Amino acid sequence: MESRNTQLAVGLFVIIGILALLFLGLKAANTNVLTNGETYKLFAKFDNIGGLKERSPVKVGGVVVGRVSKISLVGDYYEPLVEMTISKEYNEFSDTTSVSILTSGLLGEQYIGLNPGFIDDTVEMLEDGDYIYDTKSALVLEDLIGQFLFGQGND
């Protein structure tokens, strides 16, 4: 009888351990997409998105306000189009807002940085489905190293 109780306790311990690992894995993957509430979509075209991925954060001043929901190529020149899902809580962006692809640290993950534009009576607010036209592409470390190495002899 004692052996059966021990086996049940070990089995319960293993199940709790698996659930804890699953929980930690989901937290590490950052699966909360800010879809708990209302959202809206914004679009931006870039020349180069570097290593930006779907589900990358969209931040304003370091605060996550949304996620990249889709990346596709559009147009005759195959320009990257980034679709961002933004929480309705943050709906006060004007059409003078700019967007940049930034990197966390020197070699960290890339994310979208929104820089809110000025607000006055002459500018309109961004709404669901609007495009942000003031974009700054990603800085690709390999390109910078190549410019440094091969640009030295041009002096």
- pLDDT-derived band at 33 (thresholds 50, 70, 90) equals very low
Percent of the chain past pLDDT 70, that is, above it, reads 92
48 & 27 share domain: no
Looking at the fold, whether 27 and 43 belong to one and the same domain comes out as: no
If asked whether residues 10 and 70 sit together in one domain, one would say no
Same domain, 47 and 116: yes
Q: How far is Cα 142 from Cα 57, in angstroms, rounded to an integer? A: 23
pTM of the model: 0.72
**Is there a single domain that holds both residue 22 and residue 48?**
no
User: Are 52 and 10 found together in one domain?
Assistant: no
The Cα–Cα gap between 75 and 78 comes to 5
> Could you tell me if 58 and 26 lie in one domain?
no
List residues bridging with 134 in a β-sheet: 98
Average pLDDT on 68-76 reads 94
pLDDT score, position 105: 78
Q: Is the pLDDT of residue 72 over 70?
A: yes
> What would you measure as the largest C-alpha separation in the chain, in angstroms?
86
> Does a structural domain hold residue 81?
yes
Pairing between β-strand 39-45 and β-strand 79-87 as defined by DSSP bridges: antiparallel
Binned at pLDDT 50, 70 and 90, residue 155 comes out as: low
Q: What is the mean pLDDT of residues 41-67?
A: 93
- Please give the helix or strand (H or E) that residue 49 lies within, else none: none
Query: Token pair for residue 82?
Result: 């980034």
Q: Is pLDDT above 60 for 32?
A: no
Residue 89 has pLDDT above 60, yes or no: yes
**Residue 18 and residue 74 in one domain:** no
Q: Are residues 58 and 1 in the same domain?
A: no
Considering the domain architecture, whether residues 55 and 106 belong to the same structural domain is answered as yes
What was the pLDDT predicted at 25? 84
If one counts the domains in the chain, the total is: 2
Does some domain include residue 109?
A: yes
Range of the domain at 46: 39-139
27 and 102 in a single domain? The answer is no
What band does 110 get if pLDDT is binned at 50, 70 and 90? very high
Q: Which of 63, 103, 70 is nearest to 85 (CA)?
A: 70
Residues 74 and 99 in one domain: yes
Structure tokens belonging to residue 106: 């020197």
Q: Is 155 within the bounds of a domain?
A: no
Q: Specify whether the CB–CB gap between 15 and 8 falls below 8 A.
A: no
Banded pLDDT at 31 (limits 50, 70, 90): low
